[in-house]
Chains A and B, each alone.
Chain A
């Protein structure tokens, strides 16, 4: 079984990876809840001997299916911008935050 200490530092690190900022009061509430779920529920799986068992990534066996590589009509530029608010579009483009 993997030894894991579920503490504030770990949860902060995970939240940062998931692009979520947690306030102090949220951390206070979430840390013990997440600890309980991991220790009492998720860690139960370690009791289970799965030697030689293949994982089921889907509940039903499926195989890769390929379609023909044909060009199909997509949405127009105007349609692509329909869900964008005014200050996040400019000259027919999406506007985003600074990336570098």
Chain B
């Protein structure tokens, strides 16, 4: 990527001449409208008035040379995954049950973006509550910009799709529980950066699974994605799982990289070829050796789906059709009847399936065998990663086993086959490890993603390796 195409360059120009901000914003607003006209479904909610108000505020900052003017994101439009709360803007995590819900507050990450001079542009589409790998479990299904018959990936399909679609300066906020950043980044040819669990505050995130959720970034380049991650990371006293660590971009020495054979061998031949070529290029810079993660390959999906559905089923218990979101007529109804009616009408089939699975795994008599067992298995799976990281700085493999599938192919998958599509993205997510997916090339005009995984707090290892790959 040329420096002239980077967000950092844009910010430098914007500080000298505010028309850069105005022109870029006007162009990206046109692109949003064009994508809406073409029904590409990247955008869940766009409030032009609020965007223009922000532009006016920034113009004052430009004149006053205040802290926003000096911010790292001065004038940069940022789209937001629908699960992240933006004050006064409908935020519904892709769910019908949260229709009309306008948060009274900004999520911590939104506050951080605003204080660095960023413009909160629009909400992007996603699978309901993050439940899915193809963004099909929602009303507006995003279409892959490289081939409209294919999926953008999930659950943050709108973020990946729009990042690939727009030619303007822009970055996207995403959320990953089991791969919702890496998957759309891979299918849409973008960079998806998922941080260590706890590095970014989750305050204001409509939660899926508390011990797995992480807010991260999708951008056009490694430097763009890393810049936004730098802005949003750091301790938040309002988040009990927030860590004291922050992230500051810095190139660090990298010696040895492990190629995870198991994921590699299971990939489509075309994906294997493209990622293999990239890895061969890396041998010029690093020692590259094969490694294996047999326990993760065998058990990560099972442990992940037990934990994710268990936590989701409790998190979703709060949606009852009162106080916010969809509400109905309560007269003459017992609370049991009213709550059940709203939930049964508004939750999608996928959500009902996950709530039932998660309620089952926590039921008396089954809790020990499923929920607690999965938590113990997670301990061993994290250790398997940590043992490998004693020898390697980072691990590398295809982000997804295939390129973006067609919607007609996805329709044929059973729910269990759907879950299995996440085999490459689930292990680092289950272990809370930072990972980055970057484009490695194309097969039949569809992007192929390459995944790099680092130890906890190894974001700069990812940054350093990804920069080399991007440059190559």
Q: Which A residues are within 8 Å of any B CB, using their own CB?
A: 1-2, 4, 10-11, 14-15, 17-22, 26, 29-30, 33-34, 36-38, 40-42, 44-46, 48, 50, 53-60, 62, 64-65, 67, 75, 79-80, 82-85, 87-88, 94-99
B100 part of interface (Cβ distance < 8 Å): yes
- Contacting pair B303 A45 (CB below 8 A): yes
B419 part of interface (Cβ distance < 8 Å): yes
Q: Shortest CB–CB separation between residue B237 and chain A, in angstroms?
A: 6
Q: Shortest CB–CB separation between residue A73 and chain B, in angstroms?
A: 12
B430 part of interface (Cβ distance < 8 Å): yes
Identify B333's interface contact among A10, A64, A82, A98, CB under 8 A: A98
21 contacts between A and B (CB under 8 A): A11-B356, A15-B352, A20-B344, A20-B356, A30-B349, A33-B415, A34-B353, A34-B357, A41-B305, A44-B298, A45-B299, A50-B380, A53-B380, A55-B379, A56-B376, A62-B240, A64-B240, A82-B102, A84-B327, A88-B330, A97-B334
B432 part of interface (Cβ distance < 8 Å): yes
B55 part of interface (Cβ distance < 8 Å): no
Query: What separation, in Å, do the CA atoms of A30 and B212 have in the docked complex?
Result: 26
Query: What separation, in Å, do the CA atoms of A59 and B335 have in the docked complex?
Result: 37
Considering the complex, give the chain A residue whose CB is closest to the CB of B361.
A42
Q: Within 8 Å CB of A17, what residues of B?
A: 359, 363
Q: 1/0 per residue B193-230: CB within 8 Å of A? A: 00011100000000000011000000000000000000
Q: Shortest CB–CB separation between residue B300 and chain A, in angstroms?
A: 11
- Contacting pair A21 B356 (CB below 8 A): no
Q: Within 8 Å CB of B102, what residues of A?
A: 82-83
B241 part of interface (Cβ distance < 8 Å): yes
> Contacts A33-B415, A42-B306 hold; do A87 and B329 have CB atoms under 8 A apart?
yes
Q: Within 8 Å CB of A1, what residues of B?
A: 369
Nearest first, the 9 A-B pairs at minimum CB distance are A59-B432, A55-B375, A83-B324, A50-B376, A97-B338, A97-B330, A2-B369, A97-B335, A56-B379
Q: Within 8 Å CB of B430, what residues of A?
A: 59
Identify A60's interface contact among B317, B334, B373, B456, CB under 8 A: B456
> Contacts A20-B340, A44-B302, A45-B302 hold; do A55 and B376 have CB atoms under 8 A apart?
yes
Identify A38's interface contact among B298, B347, B360, B379, CB under 8 A: B360
Query: What separation, in Å, do the CA atoms of A33 and B419 have in the docked complex?
Result: 12
B355 part of interface (Cβ distance < 8 Å): yes
Q: Within 8 Å CB of B343, what residues of A?
A: 18-20
Q: Within 8 Å CB of B237, what residues of A?
A: 67
Q: 1/0 per residue B320-334: CB within 8 Å of A? A: 101111010110011
Query: What separation, in Å, do the CA atoms of A2 and B366 have in the docked complex?
Result: 7
Considering the complex, give the chain A residue whose CB is closest to the CB of B325.
A83
B288 part of interface (Cβ distance < 8 Å): no
- Contacting pair A57 B375 (CB below 8 A): yes
- Contacting pair B357 A54 (CB below 8 A): no
Residues 351 to 391 of chain B near chain A (Cβ within 8 Å): 352-353, 355-357, 359-361, 363, 365-366, 369-370, 372-380, 382
> Contacts A44-B302, A46-B369, A83-B102 hold; do A19 and B336 have CB atoms under 8 A apart?
yes
Considering the complex, give the chain B residue whose CB is closest to the CB of A58.
B211
Q: Within 8 Å CB of B352, what residues of A?
A: 15, 20, 22, 26, 30
> Contacts A33-B414, A54-B379 hold; do A18 and B356 have CB atoms under 8 A apart?
yes
Identify A59's interface contact among B369, B373, B374, B382, CB under 8 A: B382
Query: What separation, in Å, do the CA atoms of A55 and B374 have in the docked complex?
Result: 8
Q: Within 8 Å CB of B369, what residues of A?
A: 1-2, 45-46
Residues 417 to 466 of chain B near chain A (Cβ within 8 Å): 419, 430-433, 456
Q: 1/0 per residue B267-292: CB within 8 Å of A? A: 00000000000000000000000000
A sample of 10 more A-B contacts (CB under 8 A), given A19-B320, A41-B305, A82-B104, is: A11-B356, A15-B359, A30-B349, A41-B419, A45-B370, A58-B198, A58-B211, A59-B197, A83-B100, A83-B102
- Contacting pair B340 A19 (CB below 8 A): yes
- Contacting pair A88 B365 (CB below 8 A): no
Q: Shortest CB–CB separation between residue A77 and chain B, in angstroms?
A: 12
Q: Within 8 Å CB of A14, what residues of B?
A: 356, 359-360, 363
B34 part of interface (Cβ distance < 8 Å): no
Query: What separation, in Å, do the CA atoms of A53 and B383 have in the docked complex?
Result: 11
Q: Within 8 Å CB of A21, what residues of B?
A: 340-341, 344
